[in-house]
């Protein structure tokens, strides 16, 4: 039987994170991060995951205020969490657009040392010019260069990670030999994006390089992941969609000389637990309406209609005005296909609302609901195991909807059931994140690259 991989995603700044619940705590105090990370480690999860934000989102020219706003710095939180955990992998998103390979490689190599081999990097390709306004280097890249920049960035960073030999630091006091080779860390990298040379300052870290995660569903994203990532971070609601995606990305691996187990498919997943399936369904309904307040529902529609709908009652019928095209009202959130064809989206939604007699808020709950696993602990354990055994995924990155205690019940009730089935570890067998994921390939990669030079 396949072993399941599980990770804990710190809840983010979108309407799936319920802040209005009395149990909802701070999204910025360090104690919240400690709570979630320690829960994940107690449950023997593979890793903790932290997303990144570089500009506050806007809606109609004003800062969006209905969801959680504010995030910490990824590297800083992960380094601090290394002090309060012992085995848990520590992964985070760092974009390749508003950073430089030398600095990012240095930070990840430092994190890998400071966590004794637990660092992971979710490489994202780009944000837009809106985000670029926060950076002195400014600007952004046209879409056709996004993956080129990301690829070259990762390539440059990998060269830096590999620029120190594992045995370079001798530190022999009697002979006075600190380094075996005075040229340790030497690098030179010239391509369409980067023109850099010098000496990397961080000796080879315990994992050699961080675990590479890649989020992305597009054709280019899949190909990029197949070529370079250790795990692909995705989102697929159904078993069938998951299986198709899984087969597709694993099929791409041989072209890069890689085995299927070298790229793990780890979809993001949410869950709602109850004592019984019926109770969980009922709770899930409550959560959906907590996630979609009346105000949130109106803002959600405004993104599609692209116009002010504040005069409409969220408990009433869908707006009888037509959507307008042009400059997007919403900035700083991922654009989905839905917004690209607003007229068609509105037509479908009206049809749906009429057929089911839905108010604005009901409709938004219906179309934006993203609860992956709803049920009793045993039903959820069964469903997760089915996804993994039937090759729809290799595990899940779980996104609780409550901060910071939203994973507690899962850890206490679902994890033991997976352990009973023999599909999830009861103890960590290794010390590094690569050990947990079973993807220790850094040595052959380094060797291959040295050979190629």
Partner 1 sequence: MVHLAVALDGAGWHPAAWREPDARPDELFHPRYWGDLATEAERGLLDFVTIEDSFGPGPDRTDRVRGRLDAVLIASRVAPLTRHLGFVPTAIATHTEPFHLSKAIATLDYVSQGRAGVRVRIASDPADARHFGRREFPVPLPDLAEEAGDWVEVVRRLWDSWEDDAEIRDAATGRFVDRDKLHYIDFTGRFFGVKGPSITPRPPQGQPPVAVLSHVPEIHRLAARAADLVFLTPHDTGQAGALARELGDLLVFADVEVVLDETEQAARDRRARLDDLAEHSSDALVFTGTPAQLADHLLAWRDAGLSGFRLRPAALPHDLTAITRALVPELQQRGAFRREYESTTLRGLLGLDRPVSRYAGATR
Q: Binding-site residues, please?
A: 93, 147, 218
Which is nearer to partner 1, 260 or 294 (by Cβ)? 294
Binding residues for FMN: 93, 147, 218
Q: How far is the CB of 68 from partner 1 (least distance, A)?
A: 6
Which is nearer to partner 1, 203 or 438 (by Cβ)? 203
Q: How far is the CB of 137 from partner 1 (least distance, A)?
A: 7
Which is nearer to partner 1, 113 or 261 (by Cβ)? 113
Q: How far is the CB of 212 from partner 1 (least distance, A)?
A: 19
Mapped to the 3 state alphabet, what secondary structure does the chain carry?
A: CCCCEEEEECCCCCCCCCCCCCCCCCCCCHHHHHHHHHHHHHCCCCEEEECCCCCCCEECCEECCCCCCCCCCHHHHHHHHHHHCCCCEEEEEEECCCCCHHHHHHHHHHHHHHCCCCEEEEEECCCCHHHHCCCCCCCCCCHHHHHHHHHHHHHHHHHHHCCCCCCCEEEECCCCEEECCCCCCEEEEECCCCEEEEECCCCCCCCCCCEEEEECCCHHHHHHHHHHCCEEEECCCCHHHHHHHHHHHHHCCHHHCCCHHHCEEEEEECEEECCCHHHHHHHHHHHHHHHCCHHHHHHHHHHHHCCCCCCCCCCCCCCCCCCCCCCCCEECCCCCHHHHCHHHHHHHHHHHHHHHCCCHHHHHHHHHCCCCEEECHHHHHHHHHHHHHCCCCCEEEECCCCCCCCCHHHHHHHHHHHHHCCCCCCCCCCCCHHHHHCCCCHHHHHHHHHHHC
Q: How far is the CB of 364 from partner 1 (least distance, A)?
A: 13
Which is nearer to partner 1, 30 or 252 (by Cβ)? 30
Q: How far is the CB of 5 from partner 1 (least distance, A)?
A: 25
Which is nearer to partner 1, 269 or 301 (by Cβ)? 301
Which is nearer to partner 1, 183 or 347 (by Cβ)? 183
Q: How far is the CB of 381 from partner 1 (least distance, A)?
A: 33
């Amino acid at each position: 039987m396949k072993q399941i991989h599980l990770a804990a995603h710190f809840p983010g700044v979108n309407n799936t994170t319920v802040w209005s619940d009395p149990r909802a705590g701070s999204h910025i105090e360090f104690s919240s991060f400690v709570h979630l990370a320690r829960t994940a480690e107690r449950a023997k999860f593979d890793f903790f995951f932290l997303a990144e934000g570089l500009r506050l989102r806007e809606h109609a020219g004003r800062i969006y205020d209905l969801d959680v706003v504010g995030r910490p710095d990824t590297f800083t939180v992960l380094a601090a969490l290394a002090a309060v955990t012992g085995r848990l992998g520590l992964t985070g998103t760092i974009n390749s657009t508003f950073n430089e390979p030398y600095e990012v490689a240095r930070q990840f190599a430092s994190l890998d040392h400071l966590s004794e081999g637990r660092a992971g990097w979710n490489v994202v390709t780009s944000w837009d010019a809106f985000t670029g306004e926060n950076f002195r280097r400014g600007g952004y890249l046209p879409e056709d260069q996004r993956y080129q920049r990301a690829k070259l960035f990762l390539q440059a960073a990998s060269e830096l990670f590999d620029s120190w030999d594992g045995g370079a630091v001798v530190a022999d006091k009697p002979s006075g030999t600190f380094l075996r080779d005075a040229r340790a860390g030497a690098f030179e990298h010239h391509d369409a994006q980067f023109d850099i040379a010098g000496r990397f300052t961080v000796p080879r870290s315990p994992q050699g390089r961080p675990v590479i995660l890649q989020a992305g569903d597009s054709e280019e994203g899949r190909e990029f992941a197949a070529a370079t990532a250790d795990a692909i971070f995705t989102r697929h609601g159904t078993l069938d969609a998951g299986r198709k995606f899984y087969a597709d990305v694993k099929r791409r691996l041989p072209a890069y000389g890689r085995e299927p187990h070298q790229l793990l498919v780890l979809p993001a997943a949410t869950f709602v637990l109850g004592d019984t399936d019926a109770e969980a369904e009922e709770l899930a309904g409550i959560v959906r309406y907590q996630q979609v307040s009346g105000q949130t529902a109106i803002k959600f529609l405004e993104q599609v209609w692209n116009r002010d709908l504040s005069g409409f009652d969220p408990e009433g019928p869908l707006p009888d005005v037509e959507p307008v095209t042009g400059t997007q009202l919403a900035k700083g959130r991922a654009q989905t296909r839905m917004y690209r064809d607003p007229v068609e989206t509105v037509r479908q939604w009206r049809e749906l609302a009429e057929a089911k007699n839905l108010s604005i808020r009901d409709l938004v709950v219906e179309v934006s609901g993203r609860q992956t696993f709803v049920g009793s602990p045993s039903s959820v354990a069964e469903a997760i195991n089915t996804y993994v055994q039937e090759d729809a995924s290799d595990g899940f990155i779980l996104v609780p909807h409550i901060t910071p205690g939203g994973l507690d019940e899962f850890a206490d009730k679902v994890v033991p059931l997976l352990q009973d089935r023999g599909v999830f570890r009861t103890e960590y067998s290794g010390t590094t994140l690569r050990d947990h994921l079973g993807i220790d390939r850094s040595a052959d990669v380094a060797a291959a690259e040295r050979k190629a030079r």
